[in-house]
Structure 1
Amino acid sequence: MPIADGLPSRVDDRIGGRCSVLRPVADADVSVQKGDCCSVTVAIDSAFDRAVNAAELLVVSDFDGTLAPLTGDAMRVHPDPVGVAALQQLSELPHTTVAVLSGRDLQSLAKVAPLREPVVLAGSHGAETAGAQETANEQQQRLLHSAADALEAIAEQASGAFVEYKPYHLALHVRLVADQEHASRMLEEAASIAANIDGLSATFGKCIVEIAATTCTKGTWIQSQQQATGATVTIFAGDDVTDEHGFAALQPTDISIKVGSGATGARYRLADTAAISQWFARLAAARAARYSAN
């Protein structure tokens, strides 16, 4: 199976200055743009009133790199308290649905994301949703098992590399590998495993390649939630290559926000976790004021 569901589009996306590699970025119809971390495709304030006044608002945020700065230890992360409080406040407003949609497996996400219902938690790029009963089927488990040994062999090439096991994915992490060029070669080698096993696909992220036994993406999950909630405006904020699937799923009236630097198909850009957290806080205050005035 070709890399990233056979998508031919590849961009030299030097996100974060480490682990650079030629990466597939999104669906073939995504318009990818480059820019520094402070540039914007369109001034984001132009979308603010549309979000505040949406008849039915769906707010979806990635976790790592968006709500919480990236760290070397996945279980020792520090979500921005401003962003967390804002999403919680938004979730309790009328006609407003809030979700955190992560590449982490759901169990890991629930441990590090300090958010409570009615915020929806979704892991494994949307393959797992809190309260649902999804499990990998026998065929998916076999596919992942068939790639595991080869992926572990690649991880053994360098200190700091390791394989993460998720219900629907295997992930090779190389953030802690000192030699960046070797790390990039390891990621490419890992992706080639999926290319040789029908039913698997590979997607690159920040210092990671994920091998998937599912066709679920952040884009397909967002679309299902749009249908379920009847959202008239959807906001999706994310920082990584896998978030491009989510950006591609949005309509022109929706609000896609790239957090940080790197090529993107998102319409808007904010510099970092602090910036998106402050924007969520402004949105929560303004939307709350709208309902309190009615």
Structure 2
Amino acid sequence: MDVDPAASAKVVGNMPPNISVCILSHNYAHFLRQAVESCLAQEPGDYRLEEIVVLDDGSTDRTLEVCAEFGSRIRVIPLPHRGFAATLTESVRHCRGDWVAFLDADDWFAPAKLRTASGYLRTGAMLVQHWEHVVDGDGSPLLPDPHPGGNTSTIIVDRAAALKLLPVTNEKFFHVLDDLGLGARMTHPLTFYRVHGDNMTDRATPGAHQEYMADVCGEIAVRLADLRITPPPWASRSALRRLTWHYRAEARAHEVEAALQRGRRRSAWGPLLRELASTVLAGRNYRDRGPSIHSVLTGRPCVRLAPSPQEEP
């Protein structure tokens, strides 16, 4: 749901939001310059840009040379190669702003990104997300209309809240804040999301992305269960318990989809039953289980596999 910050019942503080932009990069030197320039070209508004940080995950290409071209206008943190999960976790730890706006180095921001988002950062929300333009490797449109976001380059998170969720393996961890009613959503397309042959996520191999997401949701459930021991000020034990079971149900739903994408309908029944049981314990989102039930009964997966970068989605 799109939130109008001017109509929000809760506007927090009079100080402009203090934002760190964090660019996550691994061997994306050929895209990185555009990403950095899009951050430097942000339109002024009711916010303060604390810093532009490039976290380099052990790149072996010209990433550090490209960074050097920008001198003191950006802060560069070279890390040993440990993968996306570790880089995302370290990005929250290293940033200095009250808010962190993430940007994958193969994407770039629209000039109005921070100016438009700044009003939403003062509504009491702890996670702000927006829509995106989907483009190909050369930056040409792949979709005629803007697309709902939710991925790394389309979220801005309250750093203090994000620290409580660390370590993370995927940006979906931060969506917990939205699940708890602490999110704001915009329909403004403020990021250009690039689809190309070197994207980190495999969405073309049957079942691969679904198994990955099953693991992520399972890890979120474990983290939420841990948080219940000493709940943060923005969540109650009961809310964390319900959300734990919700993410267990989500993990099983992805397992169902993975099995069906691989043509293993019989092996989808076990995860489906566990999905339904977890949903009952969560006490929420019963309608979300309809697609899994329908898919298992018909033997047809719900999710269309992503096309190659040369195909139109």
Work out whether the TM-score is over 0.5.
Answer: no
| Structure (1/2) with the larger helix percentage | 2
Question: Which TM-score band applies after superposition, normalised by the shorter structure?
Answer: under 0.3
Question: Taking CA–CA contacts closer than 8 Å with sequence separation of 6 or more, which of the two structures ends up with the larger relative contact order?
Answer: 1
- TM-score scaled to structure 2, two decimals? 0.23
